[in-house]
Structure formats: C-alpha cells, structure tokens
Structure 1
Amino acid sequence: MKTKIVYFLGLQLLIFILIFIVYGKINLVTYANMSFYVGGIITFFGMMTYVLSGGFFDFFTESTRKVFTPKHFKKDASEMRLPSEIFSFPHKPIIALGLSSLFCMCIALFVYYS
C-alpha cells in the first residue's frame, strides 16, 4: 500500500514539474491538461502491456514468422520468444496509476466547472 501511495505522489510531483516546464504557471486548467496527458500515456502503456501479455499477438507473430522466414532460418525463428513471453511484468499497477491520474483530472474539472 505504501508503494502505491509513493508512486501516486511521485506521479503528481512529475505532473507539477511538467506544468511549470510547459505552461510556467499553475491553475486548475493546466493541472487538468497535464494530468490528462500523463495519465493517458500511462494508461495506454498499461493497456498495451495487458494486450501483449495476454497473448493476443502470439498467433499473428507465429504465423508471420512461418511465412516470411527463409528456409535456412526456420530453426532460429521457431526458437524466438513470443510477445506474451517478453511482456510478462504486471500490468494492473500501471493501469491503476494511470487511472488515478485521470480521476484526479476529473475532480479538477468538476471543481473548475462548478
């Protein structure tokens, strides 16, 4: 639980640093914009690791290797790892971190428009 809080606070610190670098001033709109960008990128990365680790592209990769590999490299191509074996790290904490940033963006937009 402590590591999740530390990652969340580190992400918020990164968002504030990026706000000062890009915009030069801080207000709710700049916070909402930057937290959307950062949270969206992290959530996208987490979703891509989920799709790749789930084996979605394994069939495509295997069939592409069979079709486009020259005959004298068939043994080497069959020994290559599949994408689901390469991306085997946990994706749920990455998605949760990105969604928490997007949730903070929603709160900031709610406060701004109310």
Structure 2
Amino acid sequence: MKKKLIYFFGLQLLVFVLMFLFHGNSTLVSYVNISFYVGGTITFLGLLTYVVSGGFFDFFTESTRKVFTPKHMKEEAKKMRLPSEVFSFPYKPIIALGLSCLFCMCIALFVYYS
C-alpha cells in the first residue's frame, strides 16, 4: 500500500512539474490537461502490456517468422521468444496508476464546472 501511494504522489509531482514546464502557471485547466495526457499515456501502456502479455500477437509473430525468415535461419527463429514471454511483468498496477491519475483529473473537472 505504501509503495502504491509513493507511485501515486510521484505521478502527481510529475504532473505538477510538467504543468509548470509547459504552461508556466498553475491553473485548474492546465492541471486537467497535463493529468489527462499523463494518465492516458500510462493507462494506454498498461492496456497495451495486457494485450501483448495475453498472447494476442503470438500467432502473428510466429506466422511472420515462418514466412519471412530465410531457410538457413529457421532454427534461430524457432528459438526466439514470443511477445507474451517478453512482456511478463504485471500490468494491473500500471493500469491502476493511470486510472488513478485520470480519476484525479475527473475530480478537477468536476470542481472546475461546479
């Protein structure tokens, strides 16, 4: 739990640093914009990791290797790892971190429009 809070506050610190770098001021609109970019990017990377680690691209990768690999390199191509074996780290914390940033953005939007 402590590690998750550290990651969350680190991400919020990154949002504030990027907000001052790109916008030069601290307004609610600039916070919403930057947190959308950061949270959306992290959520997208987490979902991409989920899709790749689930084995979605394994068949395509194997087929491409069989078709486009020269005959003298077929054994080496069989020994190569599949994408689902490469992306074997947990994806749920990445998605949760991105969604928590997007949740903070939604709260800021609610405050802005009320």
Runs of 4+ in 1 over 2 A off after TM superposition: none
Q: Count residues in correspondence.
A: 114
Matching residue of 1:67 = 67
CA RMSD of aligned residues (A): 0.4
Structure 2 counterpart of 1:2, which letter?
Answer: K
TM normalised by structure 2 equals 0.99
CA distance in 1, matches of 2:20, 2:29: 13
Residue 27 (structure 1) shift: 1.1
Unaligned stretches of 5+ residues in structure 1 = none
In 2, the alpha carbon distance for the partners of 1:91 and 1:20 equals: 30
Q: Give the AA of the match of 2:71.
A: K
Q: Shift in Å at residue 39 of structure 1?
A: 0.2
1-side partners of 2:56 and 2:48: how far apart? 10
Which ranges of structure 2 fall in alignment gaps of 5 or more residues? none
SS at match of 1:56: coil
Q: How does 1:1-114 map to 2 (within 5 A)?
A: 1-114=1-114
Shift of 1:53: 0.4
